[in-house]
Chain A
Amino acid sequence: MRRIGIWIAVGGLLLSAAACGGDSGAGGGTPSARTLSVGFVAEPANLDFTSTEGAAIPQALLVNVYEGLVKLDQRGRVVPLLAEKWEVSGDRRTYTFTLRKNVTFSSGAPFTADDVVFSLDRVRTDWKLKIKSQLDVVDSVTAQGDSVAVVTLKRPSNGFLYAMATRLGAMFSRTGVADLANKPVGTGPYTLGSWRRGDAIRLDASPSYWGEKPALSSITLKYFKDATAMNNALLTGGIDVISSVQAPESLQQFADPGRFQVIEGTTNGEVVLSMNNARPPFDDRRVRQAVRHAIDHKALLETAWAGRGQPIGSMVPPTDPWYEDRTGDYPYDPAKARELLGGRTFSVKMRIPNLPYAVASAQVVKSQLAQVGITADIEPLEFPARWLDQVFTKGDYHLSIINHVEPRDMGIFADKSYYFHYDNPEFGRLLASADEGTERQQTDDLKRAAKLLSDDAAADWLFLFPNLIVARKGVTGLPQNGIAESFDFTALARQQ
Chain B
Amino acid sequence: MSGRLNAGLVVGGALVGLVVLAALVSFVWTPHDPTLVDAARKLREPGGGYLLGADKFGRDTFSQLLVGARTTLYVGVVAVGIAALAGTPLGVIAGMTPHGWLSELIMRVSDLVFAFPALLLAVMLGAVYGAGTLTAMIAIGVATVPAFARVARAATLQVMATDYVLAARAAGRRRPAIAVRHVLPNIGSVLIVQASVSFAIAILAEAALSFLGFGTRPPTPSWGRMLQESQELLFSTPRLALWPGLAVALAVLGFNLLGDGLRDVLDPKLRRIRADG
Contacts and interface: CB of A to CB of B under 8 A. Distances in A.
A303 to B, nearest CB: 5
B38 to A, nearest CB: 8
Interface in B232-263: 232-236
B231 A362 contact: no
B141 to A, nearest CB: 21
B219 A378 contact: yes
User: Which of A252, A253, A303, A362 has most B Cβ within 10 Å?
Assistant: A303
Contacts of B231: 227-228, 247
B35 to A, nearest CB: 6
Contacts of B58: 303
A379 B39 contact: no
Contacts of B219: 363, 366-367, 378
User: Which of B37, B58, B213 has most A Cβ within 10 Å?
Assistant: B37
Given A303-B57, A381-B130, 12 more contacts: A231-B232, A249-B233, A250-B232, A252-B235, A253-B236, A296-B39, A302-B39, A302-B42, A303-B42, A359-B218, A380-B213, A380-B218
Counting chain B residues whose Cβ lies within 8 A of the other chain, the interface size class is 20 to 34
Contacts of A249: 56, 232-233, 236
Contact of B218 (A250, A306, A362, A386): A362
B14 interface: no
Given A354-B213, A362-B218, A367-B219, A298 B39 contact: yes
A378 B213 contact: no
A397 B233 CA distance: 32
Contacts of A364: 37, 57
Interface in B141-166: none
B233 A367 contact: no
10 contacts: A247-B232, A250-B236, A252-B235, A304-B57, A306-B56, A363-B35, A363-B37, A378-B218, A379-B217, A382-B127
A364 B59 CA distance: 11
A477 to B, nearest CB: 28
A102 B26 CA distance: 74
Nearest to A365: B37
B202 interface: no
A248 B37 CA distance: 18
A299 interface: yes
Interface in A366-382: 366-368, 378-382
A366 to B, nearest CB: 6
Contacts of B131: 380, 382
Contacts, number: 69
Interface in B8-61: 35-39, 42, 56-58
Given A367-B35, A379-B130, A228 B213 contact: no
User: Which of A227, A250, A298 has most B Cβ within 10 Å?
Assistant: A250
Contacts of A227: 231-232
Interface in A43-63: none
Contact of B37 (A354, A367, A379): A367
Contact of A363 (B42, B57, B132): B57
Contact of A250 (B35, B37, B233): B233
Contacts of B130: 379, 381, 386
A281 to B, nearest CB: 22
Interface in A348-368: 354, 359, 362-364, 366-368
B56 A363 contact: no
B226 to A, nearest CB: 12
A249 to B, nearest CB: 5
B39 A303 contact: yes
Nearest to B57: A303
A304 B59 CA distance: 12
Contacts of B127: 382, 386
A299 B232 contact: no
A363 B218 contact: yes
Interface in A225-252: 227-228, 231, 247-250, 252
